[in-house]
Amino acid sequence: MKHSKFLFFLLSIIVLFVAVEYFRPRPIDWTRTYRNDQKMPFATQALYDLLPGLFPKQPVRSVRLPFYNLWKEQQLAPRSTYLYISENCTLEDADVKALFAYLKRGNVVFLSANGFPQLLLDSLHLKIGTNHLVDFNRAYQEQAQPDEDQQAFYNRFRLDTMALNLTNPAFKQPGKGFVLERETAENHFLTTESTQKATVLGVNQHGQYNFLKFNLGAGTLYLHSAPEVFTNYYLLQQGDANYAFRALSYLPNLPILWDEYTEQGREGEKSLFRFLFTSPSLIWAYYLTLAALFLFVLFESKRRQRVIPVLEPLRNSSLEFVETVGQLYYHQADHSVIAEKKIQHWLTYVRQRFGLKTTELDEEFKELLTAKSGLERSEIDRLLGRIGQVRYFSGNLPENQLVDLSNQIEQFYQRTQ
């Protein structure tokens, strides 16, 4: 009873917590999902909805397969643009090789991310640099207020602004350029002398490259290291959308393949866990449920696994009793008592087996027993004669007569079973 009350109390607490979390006002979620079906600040629904206007009369298709599969299964238009915007470009080596084959056939690829596959960077002789730690250390030494520790300064510094600009005079923003907030645009490209011919299309406020163009075969590859500029947060702010639209204006007017495999997985892949991890409240509820189940299993198993005492089965002492009684009679050598008990046992057998009365062992009894047992009349007479002799014998019965009586009774049993 106490256990049931505890479970009910625990489940009530979990349900109450989930309800409070579900119905409480939603704070702004700054998670960088880059999904094209969400209105969160760092999702890309606004850009995805605006693409048909940026590329008139061209289809815009969201693809949810690895690029290698698209290429292998020939699901790509004869000439098209592959648009990839994510926190990190997670293309596998097979995807990168298929991407280069796709480019050499005259197609266009636009990749915007904070990190890129090593195979892609090595093939283009590029490296990724970041300003974050360098800028922070230098800024802390130069700009920190008196008695301001590093954590407090970091919280203030991370909301500082960064600026991007395009190198094309027609697209270049006067002054500081396109100003971004919330710790964005940290990464840039480091080129070397062996870098393939690349056209620099954009830089940050330090003059570092963040937007490059490569001509590969008959196709064109665009690499961009600030995917945040294409999110809802910046597209819906006055003036900031100009940067994203100007950057995308380099792309030809071709069918658009929008990669959504990185953010949402394969088409139709909406597992329970994928849904659970879309909301912080559901995540907390999930972990609380796991913790409750763990505690339940832990304590319940201890209660149920208590040592069960071993109960020895009761011994069947009937045989020992018979042996003891037999030994007693044997040592007393009272053959008459043993003979009488065998006679009584035989009479009980006759009553139960043949339904005869055994009060009088007369002629009528002999005839009925002969008829029902199927034995010869002489055998019945001999057995009843021996019983009469034993019963009317005075004194202790000799052993040989007891043995003879016992043998005749055993023969009767065997022949009438």
Q: Which helix (H) or strand (E) holds 203?
A: strand 198-204
Backbone phi, psi, residue 83, to 5°: -110, 120
**pLDDT value for 190:** 83
The answer to whether 383 and 408 are in contact (CB under 8 A) is yes
Q: Would you write out the chain's pLDDT as a tens digit for each of its 417 residues?
A: 556 676 677 777 877 777 777 677 767 787 889 999 999 889 999 999 999 999 999 999 999 999 999 998 887 888 999 999 999 999 999 999 999 999 999 999 999 999 999 999 999 999 888 765 445 556 666 667 777 776 676 566 554 567 899 999 988 888 778 877 655 557 888 876 656 679 999 998 888 899 999 999 899 999 999 999 999 988 887 556 789 999 999 999 999 999 999 988 887 655 555 556 656 666 777 778 888 887 777 766 655 656 677 777 777 666 666 566 666 666 666 778 788 888 888 889 888 888 888 888 888 888 888 888 888 888 888 888 888 888 877 677 788 888 888 888 888 888 887
Around Cβ 147, how many Cβ atoms within 10 Å? 6
Model confidence pLDDT, tens digit, residues 91-107: 999 999 999 999 999 99
Total-model pTM:
0.58
Read off φ and ψ for residue 365, nearest 5 degrees: -60, -40
Phi/psi region, residue 197 (left: phi>0; alpha: psi -120 to 50; beta: rest), is: beta
Distance CA 393, CA 406 (A): 16
CA distances (Å), 319 to each of 316, 324, 325, 326, 338, in order? 7, 9, 10, 10, 18
Cα–Cα dist 335/341, whole Å: 10
Q: Strands 256-259 and 60-63: what pairing?
A: parallel
Q: Identify the CA nearest to 43 among candidates 53, 29, 55, 64.
A: 29
Residues 6+ apart with CB under 8 A from 205: 162, 163, 164, 165, 176, 177
Backbone angles phi, psi at 239, to 5 degrees: 95, -35
Rounded Cα gap, residues 158 and 204, in angstroms: 17
Q: What do you get for the CA distance between the two ends of the chain, in Å?
A: 60
Residue 133: per-residue pLDDT: 45
What fold is seen in the domain 31-269?
Answer: Rossmann fold (3.40.50)
Structure tokens at 199: 């056209």
Q: Where are the domains of the chain?
A: 31-269, 320-416
